[in-house]
Amino acid sequence: MFTYHCLNPIAEVGLSRFSSDYAHIDEPEKAEAILVRSASLHGKEFGEHLLSIARAGAGVNNIPLDECASKGIVVFNTPGANANGVKELVIAGMLLASRDIIGGVDWVHDHEEDGNIAGAAEKAKAAFAGREIEGKKLGVIGLGAIGVLVANAATHLGMDVYGYDPYVSVDSAWRLSRSIHHATTLDELYKECDYISVHVPALESTIGMIDKNAISLMKKDVVVLNFSRDTLVNGEDMVDALVAGKVKHYVTDFPIPGIAGVKGAIVIPHLGASTEESEDNCAKMAVKQTIDYLENGNIKNSVNYPDCDMGRRGEHVRIALLHENIPNMLGRFTKILGDHCINIADLANKSKGGYAYTLMDVDSDISEEVIDQLRSVECVKKIRVLR
Ligand SMILES: NC(=O)c1ccc[n+]([C@@H]2O[C@H](COP(=O)([O-])OP(=O)(O)OC[C@H]3O[C@@H](n4cnc5c(N)ncnc54)[C@H](O)[C@@H]3O)[C@@H](O)[C@H]2O)c1
Ligand SMILES: O=C(O)CC[C@@H](O)C(=O)O
């Protein structure tokens, strides 16, 4: 029996994949698996039984990844599972920033009792006129799951699209429309584009990237869209740029104090992934990865340990070791098993940054003494024996 706890509501279509071998428990500190969306885990205590945290979503800045890795807790996310939901809201954001749909709808709401509302609307509507996005230049920063979809969709709407991503994956490059211009510097993208949409994770290197210096390079009346994380944009600098009329609209999915009331700000309450489809996709992927890790020791889409897949466990006893990525770990593990005449039937050893993972299928069961010896190898973070 495995135990899990959900720190945020997770779609039932995902949770229903847990068999009767799994029990939902109310105490996170006793769970072996945690499922989470945006709840912050920084500064929280982790229970001694915790094996994995699955983020039903893309951004993992709410989870202390290094601390988890050092405690042998594998953190997963669900790449691409909510990308279409975000893409659609970004397109909506561009349209809201181009046509004064919000102002117009508010006007109608305010005049709903007016018996002559149709005639009054014809006189009032000039105040809500806008511009079209066709033919305008869009700069997309970050060409991952979301950025590629936004860039491609914008080309279909007739926009001239510039993409910037020095770390673009081969998969993303294959999916990107050939008509998208490759911006080799951010400065080029800032200077050229009428709309700029940011789709990068919140990292030390990206936090605050849209600041007064970046904004100073942008065109007057630029529209900046941020559906990634609040911290990517310097809030004070953006407010100054809106007040000064340099930025026409700042469309963001992240309310921060003092921005919603500023003229030109269009602030949405983090709705990018709030669609039935995205929530279902994320929940299904998060639960599937959790089950495969708990039952088979396989790791897929981890952000702090390497991916590693030896298939279903079958008849063998499987030993799973999370450890630091340093020389001779494998040599030490295999020596311990050899000294106890335990034959290794299959083995995988993968690394990612400072951490590594070793999976071994062995032909006979192993004793507590052998488990203790493996556990006490220096730099082993966690050992599991799957029988
Ligand atoms: N609003 C929402 O509800 C919502 C939903 C999903 C994701 N997000 C946010 O959007 C971000 C992107 O999501 P995704 O699914 O596209 O992630 P992704 O990992 O598929 O793509 C991120 C891309 O950013 C690129 N990148 C990293 N650093 C960069 C830099 N300095 N300059 C340019 N590119 C850089 C990477 O190479 C990668 O291609 C997430 O990290 C998350 O913070 C928000
Ligand atoms: O779970 C959500 O609603 C938001 C998720 C989103 O911010 C993400 O990074 O995937």
User: Given the CA of residue 274, which atom of ligand 2 is nearest to it?
Assistant: 3
For the chain, report the end-to-end CA distance as a whole number of angstroms.
Answer: 13
User: Count of CB atoms within 10 A of residue 235's CB?
Assistant: 17
CA-angle at 334, arms to 330 and 338, nearest 5°: 170
User: Count of CB atoms within 10 A of residue 80's CB?
Assistant: 19
| CA 160/CA 171 separation, integer angstroms | 22
Say yes or no: 20 and 134 in one domain: no
Ligand 1 binding pocket (C-beta < 6 A) is: 57-59, 79-80, 82-83, 86, 141-147, 164-169, 172, 199-202, 205-206, 227-229, 253, 270, 272-273
Query: Would you say 212 and 150 are in contact if contact means Cβ atoms under 8 Å apart?
Result: no
**294-307 pLDDT tens trace:** 999 999 999 999 99
Ligand 1 centre to CA of 254 (Å) is 15
**Quick one: angle between helices 329-339 and 368-375, nearest 10?**
160
Say yes or no: 240 and 176 in one domain: yes
| CA 24/CA 128 separation, integer angstroms | 51
Say yes or no: 208 and 159 in one domain: yes
Q: Return the C-alpha torsion angle 334, 337, 343, 345, nearest 10.
A: -50
The CATH number for 370's domain is 3.30.70.260
User: In the numeric block, which tokens belong to residue 236?
Assistant: 């004070």
User: Given the CA of residue 148, which atom of ligand 1 is nearest to it?
Assistant: 16
Say yes or no: 124 and 198 in one domain: yes
One-letter amino acid identity for 110?
Answer: D
| CA 374/CA 182 separation, integer angstroms | 50
Say yes or no: 93 and 193 in one domain: yes
| CA 208/CA 100 separation, integer angstroms | 29
Residues near 116 by beta carbon (within 8 Å), at least 6 away in sequence:
none
Say yes or no: 107 and 192 in one domain: yes
Say yes or no: 364 and 352 in one domain: yes
Q: What is the per-residue pLDDT for 163? A: 98
| CA 97/CA 99 separation, integer angstroms | 6
User: Count of CB atoms within 10 A of residue 152's CB?
Assistant: 18
- Residue 61 Cβ inside 6 Å of ligand 2? The answer reads no
Tens digit of pLDDT at every position of the chain (387 positions): 999 999 999 999 999 999 999 999 999 999 999 999 999 999 999 999 999 999 999 999 999 999 999 999 999 999 999 999 999 999 999 999 999 999 999 999 999 999 999 999 999 999 999 999 999 999 999 999 999 999 999 999 999 999 999 999 999 999 999 999 999 999 999 999 999 999 999 999 999 999 999 999 999 999 999 999 999 999 999 999 999 999 999 999 999 999 999 999 999 999 999 999 999 999 999 999 999 999 999 999 999 999 999 999 999 999 999 999 999 999 999 999 999 999 999 999 999 999 999 999 999 999 999 999 999 999 999 999 999
Say yes or no: 234 and 203 in one domain: yes
Pocket test of ligand 1: the residue of 36, 60, 165, 174 to mutate, having most ligand atoms within 8 Å of its CB, is 165
| CA 386/CA 384 separation, integer angstroms | 6
| CA 52/CA 380 separation, integer angstroms | 16
Pocket test of ligand 2: the residue of 10, 35, 38, 279 to mutate, having most ligand atoms within 8 Å of its CB, is 38
Ligand 2 centre to CA of 38 (Å) is 6
Number of domains in the chain: 3
Instruction: Say yes or no: ipTM exceeds 0.95.
Output: yes
Query: Would you say 63 and 41 are in contact if contact means Cβ atoms under 8 Å apart?
Result: yes
Give the range of the structural domain holding residue 367, as residue numbers without chain letter: 312-387
Q: What is the per-residue pLDDT for 119? A: 98
Please name the residue whose Cα sits nearest to atom 9 of ligand 1.
228
Please name the residue whose Cα sits nearest to atom 1 of ligand 1.
272
**195-254 pLDDT tens trace:** 999 999 999 999 999 999 999 999 999 999 999 999 999 999 999 999 999 999 999 999
Please name the residue whose Cα sits nearest to atom 9 of ligand 2.
59
The CATH number for 18's domain is 3.40.50.720
